[in-house]
Structure 1
């Protein structure tokens, strides 16, 4: 039986009614991870409503156990540069 491989890191993006409206944030993370060949290092998951609608959109990063609120595209770009290690080209 073959061994299942899992990425070391995971990015959970709330997909509740308010957070789910911010599709551009999820799309940015997805495209950036793909463009930087990080699919084997980090995986994106949609999570159910986190009941933090006043702070939408919510993003949760593991294994660092970091929660981010009101994630705009600018904030997403800063997150990528600090918490997701870029591979050298």
Structure 2
């Protein structure tokens, strides 16, 4: 095993857990998948795909409070994220990053 340098400056985790497809409180069942797709597309449109990595996450242990978005390495967490909230996250964490 060898450590290697990360290529991105920021990692954004979006919980998309669907461990029970019939549970509407799980992130993947209450909008997490859509938020991930929208955020990833936004980052790529800005030409920041190598600077900011947007990834689907499994369960982050905040079931019932989703969708969850986590910004790393800043350790900023958001729960019950809506489309309107996503715009604020984009402004704060995507639009302000230096290439």
TM-score bracket for this pair, using the shorter chain length: 0.7 to 0.9
Root mean square deviation, CA, Å? 2.0
**Which residue of structure 2 aligns with residue 35 of structure 1?**
45
Q: Which has the higher helix share?
A: 1
**TM-score (ref. length: structure 1):** 0.84
Q: Distance in 2 between matches of 1:57 and 1:49?
A: 10
Match of residue 46 from structure 1: 56
Unaligned runs of 5+ in 2: 19-25
TM-score by length of 2: 0.76
Q: Which runs of 4+ in 1 moved over 2 A?
A: none
- Partner in structure 1 of residue 69 of structure 2: 59
Where relative contact order (Cα < 8 A, 6+ residues apart) is larger, the structure is 1
**Offset at residue 85 of structure 1 (A):** 3.0
In 2, Cα distance between the equivalents of 1:73 and 1:58?
A: 12
Structure 1 CA distance for aligned equivalents of residues 83 and 27 of structure 2: 13
Report the count of equivalent residues: 86
Larger displacement relative to structure 2 (19-28 or 67-76): 19-28
